[in-house]
Amino acid sequence: MSVLVVVECDGGEVKKSSLEVASYGSQVAQMLGTTATAVAVGEATEANLAKLGEQGISKVLYDAEPRLKDFVNGAYTKLIAAAAEKESAQVIVLANSNIGAAVGSRLSVRLKASLATNVVELPKNDGGSFTVKRGAFSGKAFADVVLSGDRKILAVKKNSIEALHEAGKTATVESFSASLSDADFADAPKQVVMQDQAGGVLLPEADRVVSGGRGMKGPENWHLIEDLAKALGAATACSKPVSDVDWRPHHEHVGQTGITVSPNLYIACGISGAIQHLAGVNSSKVIVVINKDPEAPFFKAADYGIVGDVFEVLPKLTQAVKELN
């Protein structure tokens, strides 16, 4: 019996969301009086995997098969299922990411496990069944979900758990082979295309987000958003009407039918705060709203606000951040 954590890696590094998942998994292991093992997917280095000891992981399984560098649903599912069997894992923890959701749902059927996604807290162990809090209604509510059965899979929402950090602790890295065949790679990507990210920060992974709405008046004014985002080390985002008229790409659209984000800081510029937009951002830790309309509904959901013209306020904020650094 153990807890298995699925760690996503990219360019040799462990993703930030996976450090959170590793921390979550090791806390669940502690609760159950067992140890947490990780299985790494993507391109990883042994040194970085060993550092997962700092998140409480004792051992990392790593299959160095080069075709696993990019996500392949069939192969990843088989690899993780094999790791779960090897470790007799009763609990599997993964990120509530596109990879986590795609693999977690297949694994739940293959391993006869109950599954909760969008998990925001550690589970309560109630004599074998788990009760765990998850986001529901697109961020407008939470649900306490009961998972029964011997095996459980939890997909943890980003930024909802603090990553542990015990400096100097290391995990042992073990090479692991799931004996993958060509058939397991039938759905391998033919091509992977990365988008240009303003300042190089990925929106779903971001700690800070600067977002613009129709109040920005046009795409030619987006440099104001980008300048502040760059100074803050933030990702850029937008509201639905902005992506609908192609001022910004769809992958920056935050809201009920776009990306749901939960950064530590969300700065909304010229966004009035329709209920669908709020649904996508209201689990952010701190919300700042800048709008010239004092009646904008977003102010009700904000922690800090400035009633003013974004074209005057944004340069001042960027300047203030630069002075701070």
Residue among 90, 118, 160, 236 that touches other proteins (CB under 8 A): 118
Q: Is residue 270 a known part of a binding site?
A: yes
Contact mark string toward other proteins, 17..56, x via CB under 8 A: ----------------------------------------
The verdict on 102 binding other proteins (CB under 8 A) reads yes
The verdict on 154 binding other proteins (CB under 8 A) reads no
Residue among 45, 105, 170, 221 that touches other proteins (CB under 8 A): 105
Residue among 135, 212, 215, 270 that touches other proteins (CB under 8 A): 135
Q: Is residue 273 a known part of a binding site?
A: yes
Distance set, CA 205 to CA 10, 11, 139, 156, 157 (Å): 13, 15, 17, 13, 10
Strands 208-212, 265-269: pairing is parallel
The verdict on 119 binding other proteins (CB under 8 A) reads no
Distance in angstroms (rounded) separating the CA atoms of residues 99 and 88:
22
Q: Is residue 214 a known part of a binding site?
A: yes
Determine the size of the site formed for other proteins (CB under 8 A).
95
Contact mark string toward other proteins, 55..84, x via CB under 8 A: ---------------xx-xx--x-------
Determine contact, residues 48/16, Cβ cutoff 8 Å. Answer: no
Q: Is residue 271 a known part of a binding site?
A: yes
Q: Is residue 82 a known part of a binding site?
A: no
Q: What is the DSSP letter of 259?
A: B
Please give the distance of CA 1 from its chain centroid, rounded to a whole number. Answer: 27
Residue 312: count other Cβ atoms within 10 Å of its Cβ. Answer: 11
Phi and psi for 204 in degrees, rounded to 5?
-65, -20
Find the part of the chain contacting other proteins (CB under 8 A) among 32-40, 45-53, 180-188, 216-224: 180-188
The verdict on 187 binding other proteins (CB under 8 A) reads yes
Least separation in angstroms between residue 40's CB and other proteins is 16
Residue among 1, 47, 64, 136 that touches other proteins (CB under 8 A): 136
Q: Is residue 275 a known part of a binding site?
A: yes
Residues 209-268 that bind other proteins (CB under 8 A): 232, 250-251, 253, 256-258, 260, 264-265
Residue among 33, 175, 183, 191 that touches other proteins (CB under 8 A): 191
* Exposure b/e, 169-193, CB count within 10 A at least 16 = b: bebebeebebebeeebeeeeeeeee
If you search the block for the tokens 């923890």, which residue do you land on?
93
Tokens, residue 68: 């696993």
**Short-list 44, 82, 11, CA closest to 22:** 44
Distance in angstroms (rounded) separating the CA atoms of residues 69 and 85:
22
Least separation in angstroms between residue 26's CB and other proteins is 23
If you search the block for the tokens 């990843």, which residue do you land on?
76
